[in-house]
Amino acid sequence: MPSPKLSLQTTTLWEYPSQHYGKGEQGSADYRGATPSWVIWNLLQRYTQEGEVVVDPMCGSGTTLDVCADTGREGVGFDLQPHHPGVVESDARDLPLEDSSVDFFFCDPPYGKNLKYSGRKECIGELDARDQAYFDAMKEVFEEAWRVLKPGKCAAFYVCDVWTRQLMVPIGTHFVFMLNQIFEMVDHIAVVRGNKDLDKGNYHKAAEETNFFLRGFNHLIVVRKPEWAEDEGEAGGRPKSKRKPQDGGEGSRKRGRSGGGPQKRRRGGKPKGGRASDFVEHERPRRKRRPGGRS
Ligand SMILES: C[S@@+](CC[C@H](N)C(=O)[O-])C[C@H]1O[C@@H](n2cnc3c(N)ncnc32)[C@H](O)[C@@H]1O
């Protein structure tokens, strides 16, 4: 049965009764941790135009690529362990892309160790969200987003807080704080989670008896790389400050593209500089929709 008709969300509380839209499936419902495709659809409607380049550095089962194909955007997907023929293997902290070459950046990272992904040591899902190492790794992803985004363009990060062993880790709140240090804040949206798995076991009973709340929403944090990054020679490389030149802050000092601040460390000495369009696959196989998945 087709999903209900998609429409633009108009408040900062987003909800839709299905993981996928239309008659098909975007990404794979079998991939644990797949992003609800309607969230990406709404972001693309709001923050991109047809033909623009959209990068997802943790693309997993390729939901972002499928939504891009549906909406006429140039989707470019990377993951440590691709689960879609169009996704290219890469570390999200070191993308093979030129500086300031991307129109929109979407990222749904692991929420600490909530799910098992590739198990590789570079997988951010191997890091416990209670440890600083998780946030240090995500800071590198945020800085990579800054590097590859064109000035004036947006990024969105989709994340859930975690509650483990009597401890709530407010990942979303930490992300808002960290992203606000780097980018201009555009918006902060709560997306209602429709995780059907929670209806199967004793989760709700346990939540009542042990006095905790199951996570009911994800954070969707939308940020922008400011236009002035271009003028200040900060368009690529590591962001030093999000303050405008006239603020008299760190950003007021003139720097060349490669001077002034700490330079980005290259992982494994990989050469950089691919065009995003080199990774665009124009004819992608479509998959049939299956029910379920993370929503
Ligand atoms: C929540 S899932 C993303 C799901 C994806 N949006 C989809 O709809 O299928 C998180 C993904 O991050 C990937 N990942 C974890 N650490 C990574 C890293 N350092 N670089 C690239 N991908 C990474 C995992 O392999 C996993 O596929």
Give the tens place of pLDDT for each residue, 245-261: 454 444 333 333 333 22
Nearest CA to ligand 1 atom 13: 58
In which residue are the tokens 């550095």 written?
Answer: 57
- The reply to whether ligand 1 has any atom less than 6 angstroms from the CB of 110 is yes
- The reply to whether ligand 1 has any atom less than 6 angstroms from the CB of 81 is yes
Closest CA to 272 of 120, 147, 149: 147
In the sheet where 13-14 sits, what is the strand order? 13-14, 184-192, 217-224, 149-159, 102-107, 53-56, 74-79, 87-89
How confident is the model at residue 279, as a pLDDT?
67
Q: Ligand 1: which atom is nearest the Cα of residue 111?
A: 1
- The reply to whether ligand 1 has any atom less than 6 angstroms from the CB of 82 is no
CA neighbours closer than 13 Å in the CB half-sphere of residue 180: 9
What ipTM did this prediction achieve? 0.99
Residue 201 CA, ligand 1 centroid: distance in Å: 26
Q: At what angle do helices 171-182 and 132-148 cross, to 10 degrees?
A: 40
How confident is the model at residue 264, as a pLDDT?
41
User: Which residues of the chain carry a pLDDT beneath 70?
Assistant: 1, 231-273, 275, 277, 279-295
CA neighbours closer than 13 Å in the CB half-sphere of residue 130: 7
Give the tens place of pLDDT for each residue, 9-41: 999 999 998 999 988 899 998 999 999 999 999
Max CA pair span of the chain: 59
In which residue are the tokens 């929503």 written?
Answer: 295
- The reply to whether ligand 1 has any atom less than 6 angstroms from the CB of 89 is no
Residue 120 CA, ligand 1 centroid: distance in Å: 12
Residue 125 CA, ligand 1 centroid: distance in Å: 8
How confident is the model at residue 249, as a pLDDT?
41
For the chain, the domains span 13-254
- Choose which CATH entry (3.40.50.2000, 3.30.9.10, 3.50.50.60, 3.40.50.150) describes domain 13-254: 3.40.50.150
